[in-house]
């Protein structure tokens, strides 16, 4: 079960699902290490200034680290390892350097641009993971997931900024909003200790674990979406299920992302209320069944 969701005020768009699947994230739990101890399928490319003095001696930027920009850590939510990103400081240029990683299909990060593009055959609905954040001087971290069509055009994205100290592993779903109707073909995924446009502070740390890109292989729009209306979503105490008509013998089941049933009940009127206080925070699928089966994604947040 997912636990301790906080700092989220993001609203998931409603989509009805006929099936569930997980799009592929390579090495999502950071358990696979390369021979040099780096984490497989995640990384970044850093370019630093090199100059020659009057004697022809090569001079590098003077950079101070308190650890690597990104590296495996045994401070994991599950398994043996998680990913830890740290900021550094470049005294030559007087600027901070953000710890940042992107996902890659190759074991060693290969993108010489800003991001690696990963093939995808699913329609992702959201990105989820566990994280800790230790900011210095009010630093704000960021995660961004972007979905592209076969021509490289952006058709959807999701983003979240990390703010304030988060000392315990916290579960976070980041919904993906679509602005284009073309089929998804590629995605890029980046985590950073510093949000775009801000200056990294020396010592800021971001830890992530158990990254999942969640989606479906068979998404279907329903002509009358208002047969059932769920609100609020995300929910933290009382979930309302309203129906235009009373459908007799309608049952509901709540599944977690692993497919385990965590709650069951029946729809008894046009306006129904479910108490979610006993349900752990996380992403769920609410199945409503009568002569037809409908599913809606539901996010339960911290109580």
Q: What is the pLDDT of residue 222?
A: 35
Q: Please choose, from the candidates 248, 224, 203, the residue with its C-alpha nearest in 3D space to the C-alpha of residue 97.
A: 203
pLDDT in tens, 34-74: 998 889 999 886 655 555 556 665 555 555 555 566 889 99
DSSP character at residue 247? -
d(CA 118, CA 34): 20
Residue 130 has pLDDT above 90, yes or no: yes
CA-CA-CA-CA dihedral for 284, 41, 189, 256, to nearest 10: 0
Where exactly does CATH 2.60.40.3080 map onto the chain?
225-300
Q: Please, which residues have CB within 8 angstroms of residue 301's CB and are 6 or more apart in sequence? A: 5, 6, 8, 234, 235, 236, 281
pLDDT in tens, 83-92: 998 887 565 6
Q: What is the CATH number of domain 225-300?
A: 2.60.40.3080
Mean per-residue pLDDT over the chain, rounded: 76
Residue 254 has pLDDT above 90, yes or no: no
Enter the pTM of the model.
0.61
Count the helix, strand and coil residues of the chain and give each as a percent rounded to the nearest 5. Answer: 0, 50, 50
21-216 belongs to CATH 2.60.120.890: yes
Where exactly does CATH 2.60.120.890 map onto the chain?
21-216
Q: What is the pLDDT of residue 187?
A: 93
């Amino acid at each position: 079960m997912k636990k301790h969701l906080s700092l989220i005020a993001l609203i998931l768009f409603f989509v009805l699902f006929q099936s569930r699947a997980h799009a592929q994230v390579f090495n999502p739990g950071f358990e696979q290490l390369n021979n040099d101890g780096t984490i497989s399928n995640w990384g970044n490319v850093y370019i630093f200034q090199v100059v020659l003095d009057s004697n022809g001696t090569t001079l590098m930027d003077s950079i101070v680290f308190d650890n690597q920009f990104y590296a495996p850590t045994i401070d994991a939510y599950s398994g043996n390892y998680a990913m830890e990103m740290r900021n550094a400081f470049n005294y030559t240029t007087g600027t901070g350097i953000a710890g940042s990683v992107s996902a890659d299909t190759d074991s060693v990060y290969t993108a010489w641009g800003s991001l690696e593009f990963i093939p995808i055959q699913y329609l992702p609905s959201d990105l989820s993971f566990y994280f800790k954040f230790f900011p210095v001087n009010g630093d704000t971290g960021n995660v961004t997931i972007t979905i592209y069509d076969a021509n490289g055009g952006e058709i959807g994205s999701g983003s979240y900024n990390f703010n304030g100290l988060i000392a315990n592993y916290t579960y976070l779903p980041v919904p993906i909003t679509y602005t284009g109707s073309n089929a998804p073909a590629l995605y890029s995924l980046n985590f950073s200790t510093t949000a775009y446009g801000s200056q990294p502070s020396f010592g800021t740390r971001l830890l992530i674990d158990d990254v999942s890109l969640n989606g479906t292989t068979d998404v279907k729009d329903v002509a009358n979406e208002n047969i059932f209306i769920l609100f609020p979503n995300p929910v933290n105490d009382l979930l309302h299920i309203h129906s235009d008509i009373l459908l007799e013998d309608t049952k509901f089941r709540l599944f977690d992302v692993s497919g385990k049933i965590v709650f069951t009940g029946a729809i008894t009127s046009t306006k129904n209320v479910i108490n979610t206080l006993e349900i752990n925070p996380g992403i769920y699928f609410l199945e409503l069944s009568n002569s037809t089966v409908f599913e809606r994604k539901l996010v339960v947040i911290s109580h």
